[in-house]
Chain A
Amino acid sequence: MVNKKVSRRQFLNYTLTGVGGFMAAGMLMPMLRFAIDPALQVKAEGDFILTSQKIADLTDVPVRVDFTYEQVDAWYKSEVSEMAWVYKEGDRIVALSPVCKHLGCTVNWEGDRPNEYFCACHGGRYEKNGKNIPGTPPTGPLDEYEVSEKDGYLMLGKKIPNTLV
């Protein structure tokens, strides 16, 4: 009978371990969820975002396509607006990121010279397919977006390194 009695010290030990275990689980669980559940990860990482751009309206001249998605950064949710320069090259649709590969300003189509993208920040220039023009600050070509189509409308996916240059 004496042996079965839980001493005060043992009691404390049990309860404290219990609390500690419970707290650890509380901390781990959200981390695990982030590690395994892709749906909880930052959007635009894998899935495509539908735009309001009709595929049929695209030509060989780049047009601006705006799109937004939700980004979750720790506890802070925000809506991110991005855009792409989109044109048709034969049957292929090309969507380029407007983010200048020098220091990240937004480039404009024919902002300075015909048939080129121009970055107003330090005069960066790119050809239509995103190839940076030597002698200007950018050191690489504009990134590309993965493209897809849904009911005749353009969908944009992950940013990937330029495949055209």
Chain B
Amino acid sequence: MYFQVKDVQQYQQNKEFIDTAIVPLVYLDFAEDKMVKSSSDVEFLMSLTSFIEQQFKGRLMLIPPFSYTESTRSEQVVPILKKNIQEGGFKHVIFITCDHYWTNLQKEVDVIWLPAIPIESMDKDVKKRILEEQLKQVIPVLTSKWTQQ
């Protein structure tokens, strides 16, 4: 599901089935020499998360990315965000990012960190294969959450 009206309405009628929220944490860098890399990371993360959404549409909701710059990045914010999303009825809140910074937070929140792969220059089939490989890194995290209780 996406955070859009049609899906949210479906979510509200099926809360017992859609128990997981995925939140991309997106680092934006506007420095002349970093902006391209930053956008490449974002492109990768957005492609990967929509692929995850396609595979697990009925069980999770992909939340619009939480974006920040170096000076607005704050350790306090993410656990609060998690709490707010849980109050909306999601049992599991999983953050996904290419920014290493968040791995420090792993005790408090579930963070999947993935190294960004520059997929923007790849052809369709290679891109697809890469995303599939990356999805395989994510699935165990999801299934371990889902089999917990």
Of B10-18, B65-73, B106-114, the stretch lying at the interface with chain A is B10-18
**Contacts A103-B17, A103-B58, A122-B58 given: A66-B128 contact, CB under 8 Å?**
yes
Could you tell me the distance between the alpha carbons of A100 and B57 in the complex, rounded to whole angstroms? 9
Establish whether residues B128 and A103, one from each chain, have CB atoms under 8 Å apart when the complex forms: no
* A121 contacts partner chain B, Cβ-Cβ < 8 Å: yes
Write out the residue numbers on chain B whose beta carbons fall within 8 Å of the beta carbon of A103. 10, 14, 17-18, 57-59
Which residues of A, 119-152, contact B by the 8 Å Cβ criterion?
A: 119-122, 137
Contacts of A66 in B (CB 8 A): 128
A17 within 8 A of B: no
Tell me whether B58 and A121 are in contact (CB under 8 A).
yes
Q: Is B121 an interface residue (CB 8 A)?
A: no
| Residues in A neighbouring B143, C-beta threshold 8 A | 120
Task: Determine whether the beta carbon of A102 is less than 8 Å from that of B58.
Answer: yes
B84 in the interface (beta carbon within 8 A): no
- Nearest Cβ in chain B — how far from A95, in angstroms? 18
What mask results when residues 67 to 93 of chain A are scored 1 for a CB within 8 Å of chain B, else 0?
010000000000101000000000000
Asked whether, in the complex, the Cβ of B56 is within 8 Å of the Cβ of A105, the reply is: yes
Bound-state Cα–Cα, A15 to B95, Å: 59
Return chain A residues, CB-CB under 8 Å to B17: 102-103, 121-122, 137
**Interface of B with A (CB < 8 Å)?**
10, 14, 17-18, 54-59, 124, 128, 143
A interface with B by C-beta (< 8 Å): 66, 68, 79, 81, 100, 102-106, 119-122, 137
